[in-house]
Structure 1
Amino acid sequence: MAPSDALSSDDQNVDSSAPADNDSATADKNLTRFEDLGVSGSVLEAIRGLGYETPSAIQVAAIPPLLAGRDVVGMAQTGTGKTAAFALPILERLDTNKRAPQALVLAPTRELALQVCEAFEAYSAHLPDVRVLPVYGGQGYGVQLSALRRGVHIIVGTPGRIMDHQAKGTLDLSELDYLVLDEADEMLRMGFAEDVEQILADTPDDKQVALFSATMPAPIRRIAEKYLRDPQEIRIKSQTTTNQNITQRYLVVSYQQKVDALTRILEVENFDGMIVFVRTKNETETLAEKLRARGYSAAAINGDVPQVQRERSVNHLKEGRLDILVATDVAARGLDVERISHVINFDIPTDTESYVHRIGRTGRAGRTGDAISFITPRERYLLKHIERATRQQPVRMQLPSTADVNTTRLARFDDAITAALQETSRIESFRDIIAHYVRNHDVPEHDVAAALAIVAQGDTPLLLDPENDPLARVINDDKPARQRSERGGRNDSDRPRAQRRGRHDYAPYRIEVGRRHRVEPRQIVGALANEGGLSRDDFGAITIRPEFSIVELPVDLDRGVLDRLRNTQISGRPIQIQPDRGRPGREGGKRDGGKRYGDRGHSSHGSDDRPPRKPRHRK
């Protein structure tokens, strides 16, 4: 698969220094090729095959010390090309004869873990023996266990699921050579700091560690000082900007609702040509087929599509014979079609450089353009990265309602009638036919017109039924934001969580871990969010009792989410989540007094009941 980790960096600055010995690591500007950095053989062949020639600033600064075996602390915004900065050195030094995991990459979310895994697969395209495994919550243990038994070289995972495998004894990291902390500040924000430290402490002391973070708060600095040996410190300042003619908007929508949401936007938006970006090659074909089934002229382009066919699709887009291209990043690289008025990020990229490249496909030649990004609740944090990279704040949009769609459909229906009325010669011939029908069947002319509209429309209703709207929940969730916007008030996302949902919007769930197990609210949120795909806004009050805890979750929690959460473990204990029935005689009795997630002063202490940490010794 093609990685979305862009490698070009003509507009980035490098400031490198080592805190321990002030060792200068300023990048040599003459090093403009990957082979100059030490990348060679099959890895070099793979990245050339992806079309990359010039390394980014973070790659120029980080690859040489990582190849030399030094620990690295990289301060770089998302989108500076850091995935390749740590992936290429790992692949260069990997021993494929070993079956035990040699490299572990920790990522805060499953989306980022999958994207990093795809990048490793792309960079190792000419290393057929390399096995990469994503390990994250929400995926069945069986797939991961069978892969671990067969042997893997590189594991990319979220801290919670990595800890679960360690507790079960199904993941052996005793031969680990390389450990990467990707988006370390985001892991800290999600409450994974203790898990990360536990994983670091339970891996070999002589491993090489690379830590990448957009910011360097005190806890991250402390982890770096404690677990990294004489690290090379690198700072990258991204200067990426985007065309001011492009209007950036975003829509918060769940993965399952993306296709319906896209269809609705296509109905209401006045677009000319469009590119819809997805993450994988398979998804391009799947989505293009779904759009064609809904009546849109769409085609897929990806790295596997023959060049002749890709050029044909692009030409059809230019000529107006095709309206929508569904593409991956690599397939659309360098695409320049003035007719493209809209770019849709169906899957939002986690690196901002890819985001900038994507939306740059519109707004060409001085024209205006629109970029709309679909963001799942767990991807909200990417908005800050996008704002910093583009120096523009994307505006939250509301999903068009059934009334909006029906208004658009009626307007187009009116336009079609108006256009037909202009064909006077054909109108005359059909007027005689209609008059003949009216005389012979004694039917009013307006009834005949309505019947002809039915014939023209076919079996598909012209108007949507508001009572059977599959996207009603998304629209209703957006109503408060829309109402505040009309009053000039704050956006919904700026309000405290407790004000966004009322108490009646939550239902209590009991989990079988409590104060005796030294569990904290942030551990509960981190585990349930990763395993169930929940956002931080989905959590209400969390009440921790000695033997169990009560967690408030949305009353309309999807059954599938609850099923995924049943096998979740916290501190090595199955949580056995179930609706809280207020069983008589239970400890605490009341549900009042629980802390809403994010409040200060929760009553839990300590960490958890994991096995005691091994003493940390430096060699």
Structure 2
Amino acid sequence: MGYESPMPVQEEVIPFLLGDDNDVIALAQTGTGKTAAFGLPILQKIDVATYQPQALVLCPTRELCLQIADDLNDYSKYIDNLKVLPVYGGSSIESQIKTLKRGVHVVVATPGRLLDLMNRKTVDLRLVKNVIMDEADEMLNMGFTDSINAILAEVPENRNMLLFSATMPKEIANITKKYMKNPKEIVIGNKNEGNKNIRDIYYMVQARDKYLALKRIADFYPNIYGIVFCRTRKETQEIADKLIQDGYNADSLHGELSQAQRDYVMQKFRVKNIQLLVATDVAARGLDVDDLTHVINYGLPDEVESYTHRRGRTGRAGKTGISISICHVKEKGKIREIERIINKKFEKGEMPTGHAICEKQLFNLVDQIEKVKVNEEEIASLMPQIFRKLEWLDKEDIIKRVVSLEFNRMIDYYKDADEIQQVDERAARGERGERGERRSFAAEEGYSRFFLNFGKADGLYPNQLIELVNKCVTGKVRIGKIDLRENFSFFEVDEHEAQRVMDSMNGFEIDGRRISVEPAQGKKGEGEGRGGKRSYGRSEGGYKGRRDGAKEGGRRYERSDRTFRKDERDSDRPWKRTPAARDARKKKRF
């Protein structure tokens, strides 16, 4: 399989798993060779004559489950009759039960499906000698704690237990105390530290320019092969659809796809028919794909640990990789927090110009022409006709035409495209000057700034505000800066559409509460002087009081009888027109 010498995690872990009563906690990044580290020793200890599960591997996602099972099958090529069964949701439980009844030696499982099989009394864990929890931190983040406790309660006490994790949160420490006996802690690198072979780059842009920035980054790296991480399923599908429409080899991977669809997308990605896989964090967990050149964060994740897992998709097995983050200015603090966790500084990237992109693409084409393999026999009979057809052109003309044939579309696009202006972080953050005055967040040129009487306490986030404008206002509206406060918000729209936006949105309500949109120029509360406090009274540009049911600083936001979580921001919102607005719309229609 190409292994010449053990990687550090393999060298440390394998001797312990070959022994008895050796519990191990291994802190190692994705791509460091973990599967072989636990796979080789547990296969070595299997009694093939006993057709009952003797090793159990728990992992968070079906993709990782399948990948581990495939690797174990490869490692056991010369062990006759050894059976490995992947057990995961989304596939037929009946076929998994039939395979279990015929007898298996190693079970690789997601916690939910394994617990289901245990409740049906169709899997027997009494002979398990080794339990491996791979990507344990992610399993706990996904809410599998109760399932893991129920599973570990059924395995024998005199078994080896190996816990793999990229980070060491408190929840994992609790599991180690409860189920492990004097575990040996093995740290590859420094605890919670990121892979040093990965460059971390961020681009600070306006929210409205994020997709254009993504396109420029993809164009600047002609041979890019990577994953674009999005926060929600809806955003994932939207970005993938846009990329496909713009001619990129892209597809989406998220929780709403069926197992067959996910397998089909992953197969295309593995054989590189897809260059850019747009995915949510959950869907991309455990994707063991070789040679990824880039990971692109279409916005930073809520949890710092998730960034560590995202970047670990590239730079695997000692190779180099690039992790790119497309951020807005409010994520600056999160960048600093990530830098502290991974003990590494981000590079601030300069957005490539259209000229630089075309130059990069052009030289990539020249390299491909130079290196292309020519099948002399197949084309020999056609060449005389081709030579006669092109004999009136000299070498320079032919080269120019080949280049133009490939590049006219891209050259035309970037010739007319505006350059993306990166955010001046200091100015946009509104940092205090010498007198302690906070700069006013003034509207950009060509835009009008509005006040909206909904804010973070109402569960409003930038994507919801954009969705609200789209639902309330017919036609296309360009949206500029969005500034969310606790109880109210400011947003900018094209100044030519300002009056129409204000009139349209004021005719709507949310759960019986009227939307109020007013011009924000000159309003107090946009900044505060030294020692001053914002006042949220309506006369001073704010919304007085908090919405009932909102939980300030928490992760849930109540709205009447509905609860919205952070991972459900793409669900439908209860926007509706007021009765007066509906009557006015009917009169206008007739």
TM-score after normalising by structure 2: 0.45
TM-score after normalising by structure 1: 0.43
Whose RCO is larger (CA < 8 A, sep 6+)?
A: 1
